[in-house]
Chains A and B, each alone.
Chain A
Amino acid sequence: MSDSTTTNLESGTSGSHLQTERGVTHIADSVVGKIAALAAREVNGVVDLGGPAASAIGGVVGRIRGEEHSTAGVGVEVGERQAAIDMSMKCEYPLPLHEVADAVRENVVDRVESMTGLEVIEVNISVLDLAFPGGEEEEAEREAERQRQETASEPSRVR
């Protein structure tokens, strides 16, 4: 769990349909994490969750198969009726990062609250890396072109 989630989650039992006279409903951290990850990935400008390994917030689920639903970069704390979420991500340059972050926050709160009945009290977002559109491909293309030219300019050894 991330150190940055310091909020004390209220543990009152009033006013929530998750606590009933006939039993309690609990939504696991990993489940909230999956919903939050999916919601964040939907936002335009979010390239990937997580970031450089050393600084990324660790995933709450260790046994995820498939990148699509990975929760690497998502930290979740779930109380009886509230949740706090930390996310780290890689965003697309040159979109305004604060607007991307706002959109992520809105979508995550919306989705988690409607899907779980929990109140999301905060979504902390760290942008850890930037992606430059086409950057890697263009670089690779230039490299290939350069090699083609080198090959072409080499004097033929046979006639």
Chain B
Amino acid sequence: MGAAEVSPVAVARVAAAAAMRTPDVVDLHSGVAGEFATYGGGERVAGVRLRRRDPPARLEVRVTARYGRPLDEVAADVRDNVLLDLSGTLPGQPPATVDVRVADLVFPGSGDRS
């Protein structure tokens, strides 16, 4: 094995940052109990999970979006950003697919952050 092994947490952290800089993404969503996350080395990256037990690796990102733009567009932008950043920063290990789940919606100007 010559390839450098990149930890799931490192992959997840890059993906989380890429998702967060997508317009109309308010936050990452880690589920009702905060369980949806990537864990490793005592760290936790909320809202991102890497599945690479069965190759090819799949990445799932869950976000809270702001009401306004069509959500399928927002999700597509999240996917683009995540794939772009992963191929840029983690050469040799790009997950083949990124599943995006719009898990919650907030309305501009309301305190609704449920």
Chain A residues within CB distance 8 Å of chain B: 17-18, 20-28, 30-31, 34-35, 38, 61, 63-66, 68-69, 114-117
Q: Report whether B100 and A34 are in contact in the complex, using a CB–CB cutoff of 8 Å.
A: no
Q: Report whether A115 and B71 are in contact in the complex, using a CB–CB cutoff of 8 Å.
A: yes
Docked Cα-Cα span, A156 to B97, in Å, equals: 86
Q: Report whether A117 and B72 are in contact in the complex, using a CB–CB cutoff of 8 Å.
A: yes
Q: Which of B71-89 contact A (CB under 8 A)?
A: 71-72, 75-76, 79, 83
Known: A17-B72, A65-B114, A116-B71. A22 touches B79 (CB 8 A): yes
Residue of A nearest to B95 (CB): A23
Partner of B100, one of A26, A35, A63: A26
Docked Cα-Cα span, A65 to B104, in Å, equals: 13
Q: Report whether A69 and B110 are in contact in the complex, using a CB–CB cutoff of 8 Å.
A: yes
Q: Report whether B112 and A26 are in contact in the complex, using a CB–CB cutoff of 8 Å.
A: no
Q: Report whether B71 and A27 are in contact in the complex, using a CB–CB cutoff of 8 Å.
A: yes
Q: Report whether B72 and A18 are in contact in the complex, using a CB–CB cutoff of 8 Å.
A: yes
Place the interface of chain B in its size category: 20 to 34
Chain B residues within CB distance 8 Å of chain A: 58-59, 65, 67, 70-72, 75-76, 79, 83, 96-105, 107, 110-114
Q: Report whether A63 and B114 are in contact in the complex, using a CB–CB cutoff of 8 Å.
A: yes
Known: A31-B71, A65-B114. A23 touches B107 (CB 8 A): no
10 smallest beta-carbon distances between A and B, as pairs: A117-B72, A23-B97, A25-B75, A23-B98, A63-B114, A26-B101, A31-B105, A24-B99, A23-B99, A28-B103
Residue of B nearest to A35 (CB): B105
Q: For A24, list chain B residues within 8 Å (CB).
A: 97, 99-100
Given contacts A22-B98, A26-B101, 5 further A-B contacts (CB under 8 A): A26-B102, A31-B105, A63-B114, A64-B114, A66-B110
Partner of A116, one of B70, B97, B107, B113: B70
Docked Cα-Cα span, A25 to B103, in Å, equals: 11
Q: Report whether A64 and B112 are in contact in the complex, using a CB–CB cutoff of 8 Å.
A: yes
Partner of A28, one of B79, B99, B101: B101
Q: For A17, list chain B residues within 8 Å (CB).
A: 72, 76
Q: For B65, list chain A residues within 8 Å (CB).
A: 31
Q: For B76, list chain A residues within 8 Å (CB).
A: 17, 20, 25
Docked Cα-Cα span, A26 to B65, in Å, equals: 13
Docked Cα-Cα span, A4 to B114, in Å, equals: 27
